[in-house]
Structure 1
Amino acid sequence: MTQRVVVLGAGFGGLEATSLLSEEFGDELDVVLIDKTAGFVFGFSKLDVMFGRSIPEQVFHPYANIVKPGVRFVQAEITAIDAAAKRVETTVGAFEADFLVIALGADYDVARTQGLAEAGHEFYSEAGAFALPDTLAAFEGGDVVIGITAGPFKCPPAPSETALMLDAMLRQRGIRDSSTITLVMPFPRPIPPSPDASAALLATFEERGITWHPDTGVRSLDAAARVARLGDGSTLPFDLYLGVPVHRVPAVVEASGLTVDGWIPVDPRTLETSWPDVYAVGDCASVGTPRAGVFAERQGATAARRIAARVRGESGDALYDGRGVCYVEFGGEEIGRVEVAFFEGRPHGSMEGPSLELAAEKREFGASRIKRWFGREWTPALAE
């Protein structure tokens, strides 16, 4: 009888896990990939749309286009997860599995930050980022605050990228001198595990007149006074507020009793949960690495390799290495490359660039994933 792997969530982790299992087994394994959305969008593509480099249709990759041996995509809302039984309830029926991979990411709790919905703009969701081009185009100058409420949050470099891309946009439009940009982050430096990358960003902030406000988060927005109230008791005036909301696991994960301290606990090297043959990868899991796609991708691959060994009746020895590489926009056409490692002693990282050459490497990163996961050619937007 054909064994079944059910993968919940079609982000970096889910897409990589299903791709690897298809390569290993083809039609000999039944792989079901379930996601409530119709397609995939890179995190960096949201910024491309937000700053007018692309339009949503150019960065959207429909899951219906996935044609891989042994893999079928189901678009449905997941309503319950029974980890002990490896059974999943959805809006289109129930699915039972021999192996279960939970890769449902993190949701955004906008309501947790008073005033964010009324006075600010969140830019981390697709809907939020895709709604911002007209807002940014209409901005005539003033005080901009880019604020993080609290950690952990997805893609730690993204708020810094947003500040630098906004700086470039305002300079291009000739209104930078009549504007301020302040970045508020609850970390002592922009990319904590990489002193080199953080130093490069802080030097660029100083060069471009971007104010860095570390070690505190935004607690609330006062819509009437147009000020952001910070955790350290200070306030910042704003004409435009771009916010990163509080992150949390999807409600169905919490309701299913899978979490401890808000996230799914796993063995950080194997991604196994406390339930046999149930794995959790990516942003919903408590792994000890940043919540970013490049880490979820390697976690998904590790889980898939361990499942592949179990299907063959072998003892799996694949281990997650806690490493990741990400690309950081510095505005204009320059890209930095950050490589970090978390399981090799104290977390540490290195920085290369920024440079024009690394922009091509970043485009290849995106193009290669779409080729692997969706089987088609695609080129990310170029910086202008």
Structure 2
Amino acid sequence: MARVLVLGGGFGGLAAAHKLIGAKTPDLEVILFDQEEVFTVGFRKTWTLLGIDPEPGNGRRSNLEKKGIRRVHGRITSIEPQRKVVEANGEQFEGDFLVIALGVELAPELIGGLKEHALSVYDRRSLPRAAQALRQFQGGKIVVGIFGNPYQCPPAPYEIALLVNEQLRNRQVNAELTVFTPLPMSLPILGSAGCSVIEDRLADAGIKFLASHTAVNVEANKVVFSNGTHLDFDLLLGIAPHRAPEVVRSCGLTEGGDWVPVDTQTLETRYPGVFAIGDVNLVKMANGKPLPKAGVFAEGQGKVVAQRILETLAGNQPAAIFEGIGGCFLEIDSQNAAKIEGHFLAIPEPQVLLTDASPKLLEEKRQFEKDRLTGWLK
């Protein structure tokens, strides 16, 4: 019997596990490891923060068992990529293939004072506190801060700023909003023309935008930048630095860095039969920049890796490759969304554009969530 160990039950892990089990290959066991029972689509954080979509938007990973996917509910304490051995809940599991899909670890401790003075909008457990602070906000300065790069869902900080601004105006709360990023423009993948569209929309909403601002410290009501300037705030909505989880970094897969290097097309690590997919990996585009960390890419990578494993088990030379085609949504107000989409791994450079915003795309975003929850966890 062949055994595939899938580490992580997010977009990548769920997509890989379902494709593997859906092939109905004889004598194939798929084991998925995850320490969280509830799965939530990442972009729902904005809706939770603002309380604008009360419809339940999560699924239970325990439902995977009904589909033939064995699930281990618990924390992974060690990974041995050479042997394809994983330890969880005090038990060791050995596989023929290993799929690392453990996402990111938020690391606010890398910025002094960030954990103490900011409200995390990327941590599901911290979102209720951030949402409460926003509901109780009576006026003053709000800062949406990007404290590291790369980070998940690159448009989200701008979406948050626009929707927070709209909601506060509707409540007739006098607020001054600022968004800052360490990057030279809002979303460099779009180029200067696409970024101008986003930055002009921020300006039209009265939101100040600060590019090339690298935060080095956070004090009570003040963010300090590497250029010696600072930014005052009454409420700081922070996106903490990201990195691969400790269990991944400590086993050598990141090769001393923050992410797992993989082959751009096959997603295989330097260890044969060991793949890393989704936010945990480092896939470089033709311009040398990292592929954006978005659920749609994790899903696509999961399907490619699963197909390569199935082809190998069938005795064939694996042919499936990851092409980097996809996109993510950017809500610009409560009624409309735009989409950033294209061929991110195109050569000689990424071919990516920002669409016009429309109600149709907002509905497409909501349907995207429903389709995944229904297909994977119902």
Q: TM tier, shorter chain? A: over 0.9
The yes-or-no answer on 1:359 pairing with 2:366 is: no
Is 1:281 paired with 2:277?
A: yes
TM-score, normalised to structure 2's length?
Answer: 0.94
Q: Displacement, 1:341?
A: 2.1
CA contact (8 A) 1:22 1:71 kept: yes
Q: 1:337, 1:351 within 8 Å by CA — same for their partners in 2?
A: yes
CA contact (8 A) 2:98 2:274 kept: yes
For the pair 1:344 / 2:334, whether they are aligned, the reply is no
Mean Cα displacement is larger for which, 93-102 or 252-261? 252-261
**Which aligned pairs between 1:174-213 and structure 2 lie closer than 5 A?**
174-175=172-173, 178-195=174-191, 197-213=194-210
Q: Does the 8 Å CA contact 2:43/2:153 hold for their aligned counterparts?
A: no
1:85/1:332 CA distance change after superposition, 3 Å: same
Residue 92 (structure 1) shift: 4.6
Please report how far the alpha carbon of residue 67 of structure 1 lies from its aligned counterpart in structure 2 after TM superposition: 4.3
Count of residue pairs brought into register by the alignment: 369
The aligned amino acid for 2:31 is V
Residue 373 of structure 1, CA deviation: 0.9
Secondary structure at 2:237 match in 1:
strand
Instruction: Say yes or no: does 1:144 pair with 2:146.
Output: no
Q: Which residue of 1 aligns with 2:287?
A: none
> Which residue pairs with 1:316 in the alignment?
318
SS of the aligned residue for 2:356 comes to: strand
Give the aligned partner of residue 102 of structure 2: 104
Equivalent residue of 1:30, what SS?
Answer: strand
Match of residue 124 from structure 2: 126
Q: Deviations over 1:176-202 (max 9, x none)?
A: xx2111000112222211235423211
Question: 1:63 aligns to what?
Answer: 61
Q: SS of the residue aligned with 1:353?
A: coil
- Aligned residue for 1:89? 87
Partner of 2:43: 44
Q: TM-score, normalised by structure 1?
A: 0.93
SS at structure 2 position matched to 1:298: helix
CA-to-aligned-CA distance 1:249-285 (integer Å, 9 cap, x gap): 1111111111122211110110011111110011111
User: Could you tell me which amino acid in structure 1 is paired with residue 135 of structure 2?
Assistant: A
Amino acid at match of 1:105: G
Please give the alpha-carbon distance, in whole angstroms, between the structure 1 residues aligned to 2:165 and 2:79. Answer: 44
Amino acid of the residue matched to residue 344 of structure 1?
A
Task: Tell me which residue corresponds to 1:221.
Answer: 218
Are 2:37 and 1:31 equivalent residues in the alignment? Answer: no
For 2:128, give the aligned amino acid: F
1:382 equivalent in structure 2 = none
Describe the superposition over 1:108-137 as per-residue Cα deviations: whole angstroms up to 9, x where unpaired: 111111111221111101012232221101
> In structure 2, what is the equivalent of residue 249 of structure 1?
244
Give the Cα separation in 2 of the matches to 1:302 and 1:45: 25
User: After TM superposition, what 4+ stretches of structure 1 lie above 4 angstroms from structure 2?
Assistant: none
1:374 aligns with 2:369: no
Q: Please say if residues 65 and 71 of structure 2, whose CA atoms lie closer than 8 Å, have aligned partners that are also in contact.
A: no
Do 2:194 and 2:353's aligned partners in 1 also have CA atoms closer than 8 Å? yes
> Which residue type is aligned with residue 253 of structure 1?
V
RMSD (CA atoms) = 1.5
8 Å Cα contact 2:120/2:130 also seen in 1:
no
Residue number among 153, 160, 163 corresponding to 2:161 in the alignment: 163
Q: 2 CA distance for matches of 1:190 and 1:97?
A: 42
Tell me which residue corresponds to 1:381. Answer: none
Q: Percent identity?
A: 36
Unmatched runs of 5 consecutive residues or more in structure 1? 376-384
Structure 2 segments unaligned to the other structure (5+ residues): 285-290
Q: Which amino acid aligns with 1:172?
A: N
* Kept after mapping to 2: 8 A contact 1:8/1:33: yes
* Partner secondary structure for residue 279 of structure 2: helix
Q: Secondary structure at the match of 2:116?
A: helix
Question: 2:225 & 2:24 partners in 1: Cα distance?
Answer: 52
Distance 1:110 1:77, change over 3 A: same
Secondary structure of residue in 1 paired with 2:317: coil
1:113 to 111, 114, 135: 111
Partners in 2 of 1:14 and 1:255 — Cα distance? 21
- Whether contact under 8 Å (2:33, 2:71) holds in the other structure is yes
